[in-house]
Each structure stands twice: as structure tokens, then as C-alpha cells.
């Protein structure tokens, strides 16, 4: 599977520019995709043969429900296998090959977001935007203080605000230890720009739709003022598919 998925990270501007020169998609070579118990997990099988990650490891989930969700992406492929339509498989590959061997490093990357979290930086104006931010972000900060014991400081504009070490440590302590949920939280963090939004999603405080809305407060405000940029909305939809994959992992493992 290496040739299918090793370049299948979430699309960036550079990635979009390179897309036209990628090799043709590989034709579907199997009739049935399913998940089956094996090796202490639930392995995705293609016509009874185990699928593997780009690193050659078994494409296996910790639960049957998650294994079946991944297999469903494979079953939904038509004449060709298009990794762009398989965000859950791509996330599974990342977790199996990249997170399981380095959970501390992944947790440390999430902690960097806690030190400068999106929801802690507020606009000085216009008043409507500041109020919009407060409506969406204040409840998340209140939840973090009440549920995690993490009280974060607010800043205005782009000037860095040093967060209390106790708040960062408390939120860091809420990160899951298992690589699957940790990898999903990391994906949600990088896609939203907020580890606190990702933790609220993990704990069920926010639905995926609420979390995604909270991550795009500023963008939605600008759309209301100036209108939609269709190319930007297409990129946003692609990123939301990646985010939904992370939310699916968290939901099925909750």
C-alpha cells in the first residue's frame, strides 16, 4: 500500500499544486473489504488478505466498529482507489506508523498548541467579531477550568501571552495515553489550531460540528462581511473530512 498512501497527507497549497503531476490512481484490485479479528486487533482484509500500512504494518484497529469503518472506505472505492476519499484510512496509517512509536513526542507537539491556543487570542475590534469570539470560545475556556482544572489567560491581537504552567500541565494531563485517541486528538488539534477544542471534542463537550465552527469563528466572520471564496471553501471542506475522521476515531473509542 506504500505507493497509495505515503503521499496522502491532508492537502496543502503546495500539495494542491503538485496534484496534477501525481501518478494515475491504482485500479481497484479486490472485490470485498472487511474487518476480521487477528493479532489482538481487527485487521482490514481485502478479499481475505490483510491490508498493510505504508510502513508494512497490519492495517488493524483496536475495535471491530473502527475496523469496519476503515474497511467501509475501501469497500466504497469504485474502479480506482483514491486515497483522497479515504481520510480514516490515512489517519489510521499515521497512527499505526507514526504515533504508536512516539506518543511522548506527539503529546509534546499538542502541548505547544496549549501554550498559544487559538481560543485565548481575541480581537480588539470590531466589536461584533470580539463578541462572536466570546460566544464561541468563552464556554470552552470555562469548561477547561471546571473539567480539567486548567485556567488559561486571554490576550489581544497577536502578542504572545505566557500561559500559567499549571494550566498547561493540567490540560496536558488530560491527553489520552493510547496511540489511537492521542493521534486523533493531535489531528484535531492541528486542523483546528486549538488543543482545547480538540480536548473538548475528546471529552464530548463539543460535537464535531460545534468544534469545527469554533475553529472557524474568524473565517466565518470575514465571510459574513466580504462573501465566500470558493477555493478557500473547497480547501475547508477537504480539511473537514480529515477532521471528521479524527472525530470518528474518538467517537468509536469513547
* Spatial contact of 1 and 54, defined as CB atoms under 8 Å apart: yes
For the chain, how many structural domains are there in total? 2
Same domain, 44 and 145: no
| Helical H segments across the chain, by residue range | 2-5, 13-18, 64-76, 87-94, 103-115, 127-143, 165-172, 179-192, 195-202, 208-215, 217-226, 230-252
Q: 144: which 3 cell numbers?
A: 477547561
For residue 5, name the pLDDT band (cuts at 50, 70, 90): low
Q: What is the mean pLDDT of residues 220-247?
A: 93
Q: In degrees, to the nearest 5, what angle opens at C-alpha 213 toward C-alphas 94 and 134?
A: 125
Q: What is the pLDDT of residue 11?
A: 47
For residue 3, name the pLDDT band (cuts at 50, 70, 90): low
For residue 1, name the pLDDT band (cuts at 50, 70, 90): low
Same domain, 162 and 123: yes
Selected residue with higher pLDDT from 213 and 15:
213
CA dist., res. 169 & res. 20, Å (int): 44
Same domain, 48 and 110: no
CA dist., res. 243 & res. 148, Å (int): 23
Main-chain dihedrals φ then ψ at residue 49, nearest 5 degrees = -105, 140
pLDDT digits 0-9 by tens, 152-202 = 999 998 889 999 999 999 999 999 999 999 999 999 999 999 999 999 999
CATH number, position 191:
1.10.3580.10
* Spatial contact of 85 and 77, defined as CB atoms under 8 Å apart: yes
Same domain, 126 and 160: yes
Same domain, 107 and 216: yes
Q: Which one, of 203, 74, 64, lies nearest residue 144 by Cα?
A: 203
CA dist., res. 226 & res. 232, Å (int): 13
Boundaries of domain holding 187: 103-252
For residue 239, name the pLDDT band (cuts at 50, 70, 90): very high
* Spatial contact of 16 and 84, defined as CB atoms under 8 Å apart: no
* Spatial contact of 95 and 179, defined as CB atoms under 8 Å apart: yes
Whether the per-residue pLDDT at 17 is higher than 50: the answer is: no
Average pLDDT, the chain: 92
Same domain, 26 and 109: no
* pTM assigned to the model: 0.90
Q: What is the pLDDT of residue 59?
A: 98
Q: What is the pLDDT of residue 142?
A: 98
Same domain, 231 and 175: yes
* Residue at a domain's end among 55, 84, 113: 84
Q: What is the mean pLDDT of residues 208-214?
A: 98
Burial class (CB in 10 A: 0-12, 13-18, 19+), 254: exposed
Same domain, 220 and 172: yes
Relative orientation angle of helices 208-215 and 179-192, to the nearest 10 degrees: 40
Query: Looking up cell 480539511, which residue turns up?
Result: 239
pLDDT digits 0-9 by tens, 111-151 = 999 999 999 999 999 999 999 999 999 999 999 999 999 99
Residue 19 lies in a domain: yes
Same domain, 78 and 191: no
For residue 10, name the pLDDT band (cuts at 50, 70, 90): very low
CA dist., res. 251 & res. 254, Å (int): 5
CA dist., res. 79 & res. 85, Å (int): 13
Sign, CA dihedral 199-89-58-99, equals negative
Amino acid at each position: 500500500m506504500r505507493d497509495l498512501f505515503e503521499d496522502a497527507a491532508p492537502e496543502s497549497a503546495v500539495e494542491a499544486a503538485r496534484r496534477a503531476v501525481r501518478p494515475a490512481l491504482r485500479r481497484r484490485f479486490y472485490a470485498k473489504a472487511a474487518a476480521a479479528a487477528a493479532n489482538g486487533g481487527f485487521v482490514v482484509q481485502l478479499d481475505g488478505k490483510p491490508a498493510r500500512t505504508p510502513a508494512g504494518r497490519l492495517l488493524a484497529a483496536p475495535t471491530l466498529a473502527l475496523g469496519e469503518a476503515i474497511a467501509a472506505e475501501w469497500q466504497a472505492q469504485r474502479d480506482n482507489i483514491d486515497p483522497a476519499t479515504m481520510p480514516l484510512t490515512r489517519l489510521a496509517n499515521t497512527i499505526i506508523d507514526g504515533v504508536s512509536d512516539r506518543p511522548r513526542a506527539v503529546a509534546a507537539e499538542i502541548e505547544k498548541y496549549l501554550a498559544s491556543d487559538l481560543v485565548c487570542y481575541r480581537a480588539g475590534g470590531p466589536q461584533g467579531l470580539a463578541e462572536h469570539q466570546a460566544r464561541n470560545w468563552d464556554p470552552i475556556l470555562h469548561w477547561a477550568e471546571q473539567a480539567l482544572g486548567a485556567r488559561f489567560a486571554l490576550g489581544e491581537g497577536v502578542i504572545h501571552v505566557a500561559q500559567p504552567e499549571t494550566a498547561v500541565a493540567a490540560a496536558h494531563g488530560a491527553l489520552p495515553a493510547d496511540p489511537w485517541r492521542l493521534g486523533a486528538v493531535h489531528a484535531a488539534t492541528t486542523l483546528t489550531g486549538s488543543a482545547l477544542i480538540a480536548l473538548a471534542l475528546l471529552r464530548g463537550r463539543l460535537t464535531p460540528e460545534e468544534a469545527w465552527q469554533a475553529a472557524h469563528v474568524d473565517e466565518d466572520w470575514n465571510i459574513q462581511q466580504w462573501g465566500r471564496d470558493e477555493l478557500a471553501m473547497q480547501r475547508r471542506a477537504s480539511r473537514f473530512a480529515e477532521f471528521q475522521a479524527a472525530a470518528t476515531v474518538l467517537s468509536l473509542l469513547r
